[in-house]
Amino acid sequence: MAVECFVTGGSGFVGQHLLARLSATGHKTWVLMRNPENIASLREQVGQLGGNPANIHAVAGDISRDGLGLCEADRQCVSRVSVVFHLAAAFSWGLTMERARAINVQGALRVARLAASLGVRLLMVGGYMVHNLAFLGRIGVDHECPENTDWPAVYSRVGGYEGSKLESHFAVIRYLQEARVDYTIVHPATVGGHSESGHILAGQPLVELIHNLARGRFKAVPGSARHWLPMVSVDYLVTLMTCVAFDPLLANRQVLALNEHTPSLPGLLEALAKTLGVKAPRRHVAIGLLRWLAKIPGLAARLQIRAESLNFIQTQRFDMSESQQLERKYRLTHPDMAQTLERTVHYVMAHLPG
Ligand SMILES: NC(=O)c1ccc[n+]([C@@H]2O[C@H](COP(=O)([O-])OP(=O)(O)OC[C@H]3O[C@@H](n4cnc5c(N)ncnc54)[C@H](OP(=O)(O)O)[C@@H]3O)[C@@H](O)[C@H]2O)c1
C-alpha cells in the first residue's frame, strides 16, 4: 500500500536511491532540504535513477536547527507520514567533535523527536561498526551501558564522523525507548555504486579509493591478506531499507547491510585496478604504521592517508544470519560484487574524473 514518507538526506548518495525506490513504488515522499530551490534537479536525478519525480516534494529545513527548522505549513505537510527515514549526516573525515555532534547526534535526536511527535516509526541509517564489539571495546565504547562511555575520548580515537555515528546510535535508541516509539536501524557497510548503472556520487569513500588507485597513489595494501573493507551495493541497501521500514515484525530491530562476499582488501584493489588498467599494489603495510605516519604533520596529506578511514579496514567477520533470514523473507539477494565494482569504476571514470 502506498503511504506518505519523510526523508532526511534525500539529496545524498543513498538518499537519492531511496527516493527513487520510494517514489517508483508509489509513496508520496517529503524530503527535508537545506536548499529546497534544488528540488527540480533532485527530481530530475531521481527520475534518471528510475523514480517517479511527481511523488517527490521538498520541505525546507536543517537538522541542526530546532524543530528541524520546519515552518508551520511544512510541518502540516509531513503530519500524515507513516515512516520517517533519517539519512542526513555530516559524512566526511576531519570533522570537529562539536560539528559532528551538532549534526549527527543532536540532529538525529531532533529527527527522532519529530517521529515521536507524529507517533510513527523512525528508520535510521547507522553504520556497521556498531556490530564490531571488539572495535567498540578497543575505542572505549561501553555498548552494554553506553551512558558510561567517555565520548570525547572516543572521538579523539576514531574522529568526528565515526564517534558521532556511534554516539547518535545509542542516544537515539535510548530516546525512542523512553518515548515508546518504534525504530528500525539499518547498518550499512561502505556503500558501493548501483549494481547495474554503477551510479555513485563524488565524496563517497569508494570514489576516493578509485581515484587514488587510478593516480598511482596506492603504494601498498593497508593491513594483511586477511583484512577487508566490507561493502554493500546501494541498490541492495535501499531495497532492504524499504522492506524493513514497512515490516511490522522489524519494529525495534537492527539489521546489517553488508555483502560478506566482498573480497579481501588485496582482492578488492586488484579488481578495481584491473578495470582501471593500472597495477594493483602488492606490498603490504601495517595499519598501525599508517596511523603513526598520519600523526606526523603534513605527511598524512602528502601520502593521502586518511587515518579515520583506516578504522573500517579490519579482519573482523560479522554474523549475517539475521540478515540472511530477512533476505529469504523478502526474496532479496546481493548483486554480484565483481560486476558492481567493475560498473562503479566505469561510472567514476566517465562521470567523476576527479
Ligand atoms: N556511504 C557510505 O559508505 C555509508 C556507510 C555507512 C553509513 N552511511 C550513512 O548513510 C547515510 C547516508 O550517507 P550518504 O553516503 O548518502 O551521505 P551523503 O551523500 O554525504 O549525503 C548526506 C546528506 O545529508 C544531508 N545533510 C547534511 N547535513 C545536513 C543538515 N544539517 N540538515 C539537513 N540535511 C543535511 C545532505 O544534504 P545537502 O544536499 O544539503 O548537503 C545530504 O543529503 C548517512 O547517515 C551515513 O552516515 C553511509
Q: Is the pLDDT of residue 186 over 90?
A: yes
Per-residue pLDDT at 300: 74
Calculate the average pLDDT of the chain: 96
Residue 129: DSSP 8-state = G
Residue whose CB lies within 8 A of the most ligand 1 atoms, among 32, 63, 87, for a mutation test: 87
The cell for 60 is 525546507
The cell for 276 is 582501471
| H or E segment and range at residue 253 | strand 253-257
pLDDT in tens, 296-311: 877 777 767 788 889 8
- For the CA of 11, the nearest atom of ligand 1: 43
- Cell match 558501493: residue? 192
Q: Is the pLDDT of residue 5 over 80?
A: yes
Q: How far is the CA of 14 from the centre of ligand 1 (A)?
A: 8
Pairwise CA distance, residues 4 & 41, whole Å: 21
Q: Is the CB of 161 under 6 A from ligand 1?
A: no
- For the CA of 35, the nearest atom of ligand 1: 40
Question: How are beta strands 28-33 and 56-60 bridged, if at all?
Answer: parallel
Q: Which region among 9-18, 154-163, 231-240, 284-293 has the lowest average model confidence (pLDDT)? A: 284-293
Whole-angstrom Cα Rg for the chain: 20
Per-residue pLDDT at 149: 98
Question: Helix or strand or coil: residue 33?
Answer: strand
Q: How far is the CA of 277 from the centre of ligand 1 (A)?
A: 31
Sign of the C-alpha dihedral computed for residues 258, 259, 264 and 270 taken in this order: negative
The cell for 258 is 553488508
Q: Identify the architecture of domain 4-195+230-260+317-337 in CATH.
A: 3-Layer(aba) Sandwich (3.40)
Residue 21 burial by CB count (10 A; 0-12/13-18/19+): exposed, middle or buried?
buried
The cell for 218 is 596506492
Q: Is the CB of 265 under 6 A from ligand 1?
A: no
* Residue % of the chain over a pLDDT of 90: 92
The cell for 90 is 555530516
Q: Residue 323: which residues within 8 A CB-CB, separation 6 or more? A: 240, 255, 256, 257, 258
Q: Is the pLDDT of residue 354 over 80?
A: no
- For the CA of 201, the nearest atom of ligand 1: 19
Q: Is the pLDDT of residue 295 over 90?
A: no
- What value does the mean pLDDT take over residues 72-93? 97
pTM (two decimals):
0.97
Conformation bin of residue 39: beta by default, left when phi > 0, alpha when psi is -120 to 50 = alpha
CB-CB contact of 82 with 120 (8 Å): yes
- What value does the mean pLDDT take over residues 243-270? 97
Domain layout of the chain by residue ranges: 4-195+230-260+317-337
Question: How are beta strands 253-257 and 284-285 bridged, if at all?
Answer: unpaired
Pairwise CA distance, residues 97 & 100, whole Å: 5
pLDDT in tens, 85-138: 999 999 999 999 999 999 999 999 999 999 999 999 999 999 999 999 999 999
Q: How far is the CA of 123 from the centre of ligand 1 (A)?
A: 14
Closest CA to 161 of 308, 300, 11, 8: 308
